[in-house]
Amino acid sequence: MDVSRRGFLKLSGATLAASGLGISLSPAKANAQALKTLYTKESLTVCPYCSVGCGIIVSVRDGKVINTEGDPDHPINQGTLCPKGGSIYQMANNKNRLDKPRYRAPYATEWKEVEWEWALEKIAHNIKKSRDASFKARNAKGELVNRTEGIASVGSAAMDNEECWLYQKLLRGLGLVYIEHQARI
């Protein structure tokens, strides 16, 4: 019988259900410890590290990632992962992830936690000040250039396509020309 791994999971579930019918399955039961992914919601993702593009299944229970593993249906990795791909469980469950915006004032020696609204408002004012002060409508030759020379940006291949596209829209709308990212290095 040709049973894919996912088919096998369904079959083993059926076996557990069948045990209610009075058929003795005690040896099988002894081995069939409930999978830790039982009663989880599966979500599909692609590894965030190298560019092979391996499929990963993220199992979630009560809003918490409880398991990550290679997607056996994915045609590239066929369920396998390398150590990095295998570790995204610890990306999801990591007490050292930044959880609030932080701010370091000029000459300060440490971070302080701040609210989004305060940070974004201040950043927007900073951008406007830097942009307006450095804005160049025309270059030395008198050509129209409409650019902002006082702000630069690097990033990011770590973002999704849609975010990358939106980012270039925001930056080019502001007139930035110093737009670079990982592909250059």
Partner 1 sequence: MTNHWIDIQHSDVILIMGSNPASNHPIAFKWITKAVEKGAKIVCVDPRFTQSAAKAHLYAPLRSGTDIAFLGGMIKYIFDNKLYFKEYVQYYTNASFLVNPDFRLPGDNKGVFSGLTGTKYDKATWSYQTDAAGVIKKDPSMTDPRCVFQLLKKHYSRYTMEMVNKITGTPVAKLEEVYKLYGSTGKPDKSGNELYAMGWTQHTVGVQNIRTMAIIQLLLGNMGIPGGGVAAMRGEANVQGSTDQGLLFHIWPGYIGTPRGSNPTLKSFMEARTPQTKEVKSLNWPKNTPKYIASFLRSMYGMNTTLEEAFSYLPRLDDGVDYSWLTLFDQMYKEKFTGFFAWGMNPANSGASSNKVRQAMTKLDWMVNVNLYDNETGSFWRSPGFDPTQVKTEVFMLPCASSIEKEGSISNSGRWMQWRYKAVNPVGISLPDGDIMAELYFKLKALYEKEGGPNKEAITKLSWNYGKFDSKGHYHLDVHAIAKEINGTFLADKVVENPATKEKMPFKKGQQVPSFAFLQDDGSTSSGDWVYCGSYTDAGNMSARRGKADPTGLGLFPQWAWSWPVNRRIIYNGASVHPETGKPWNPALALIKWDGTKWTGDVPDGVGDPGSGRGPFIMKPDGVASLFGPGLVDGPFPEHYEPMECPVEKNLMSPQFNNPVVKRWEKKGVGTDTDVDSIASCDPRFPFICSTYRVTEHWQTGLQTRWVPWLAEMQPGMFVEISEELAKERGFTNGELVTVKTSRGELDAVAIVTPRMKPFNIDGNTIHMVGIPWHFGWATTAARNYNANDKKPEVFTTGDAANLLTPYAGDPNTMIPESKAFMANVVKKGVK
Nearest-angstrom CA–CA distance, 80 and 104: 42
Which residue, 28 or 127, is less far from partner 1 as judged by CB? 127
Which residue, 19 or 61, is less far from partner 1 as judged by CB? 61
Least Cβ distance, residue 37 to partner 1 (angstroms): 13
Tally of CA atoms within 13 A in the half-sphere of 167 that contains its CB: 16
Least Cβ distance, residue 35 to partner 1 (angstroms): 18
Least Cβ distance, residue 134 to partner 1 (angstroms): 7
Give the torsion through C-alpha atoms of 145, 146, 149, 152, to 10 deg.
-110
Q: Are strands 112-113 and 135-138 parallel, antiparallel or unpaired?
A: unpaired
Which residue, 19 or 130, is less far from partner 1 as judged by CB? 130
> Structure tokens of 111?
């971070």
